[in-house]
Amino acid sequence: MFKKLKKFYYTKILHKKYYRVGACKGCGRCCKQIYVKHARGVIKEEKDFENLKYQHRFYTYLKVTGKDEIGLIFECQNLDKETHKCKIHKTRPGICRRYPQEEIFGMGGALSQDCGYKLEPIETFGEIFDQVQKEKNKKTLWQKLFSKK
Ligand code: SF4
Ligand code: SF4
- At 87 the pLDDT is 97
**What pLDDT digit, counting tens, does each position of 49-108 carry?**
988 888 889 999 999 999 999 899 999 999 999 999 999 999 999 999 999 988 877 777
- At 4 the pLDDT is 87
CA-to-CA separations, 136 to 71, 98, 119, 124, 142, in angstroms, rounded: 41, 37, 29, 19, 10
Which ligand 2 atom sits closest to the C-alpha of 111? 1
pLDDT higher for 124 or 41? 41
- At 77 the pLDDT is 97
- Ligand 1 pocket test: which of 92, 98, 99 has the largest number of ligand atoms within 8 Å of its C-beta? 92
- What percentage of the chain's residues is helix, strand, coil (to nearest 5)? 40, 20, 40
**What pLDDT digit, counting tens, does each position of 21-39 carry?**
999 999 999 999 899 988 7
Residue 148 pLDDT > 70, yes or no? no
99: amino acid identity, one letter: Y
Kindly state the helix (H) or strand (E) to which residue 106 belongs, with its residue range.
helix 103-106
Q: Is 26 in the pocket of ligand 2 (CB under 6 A)?
A: yes
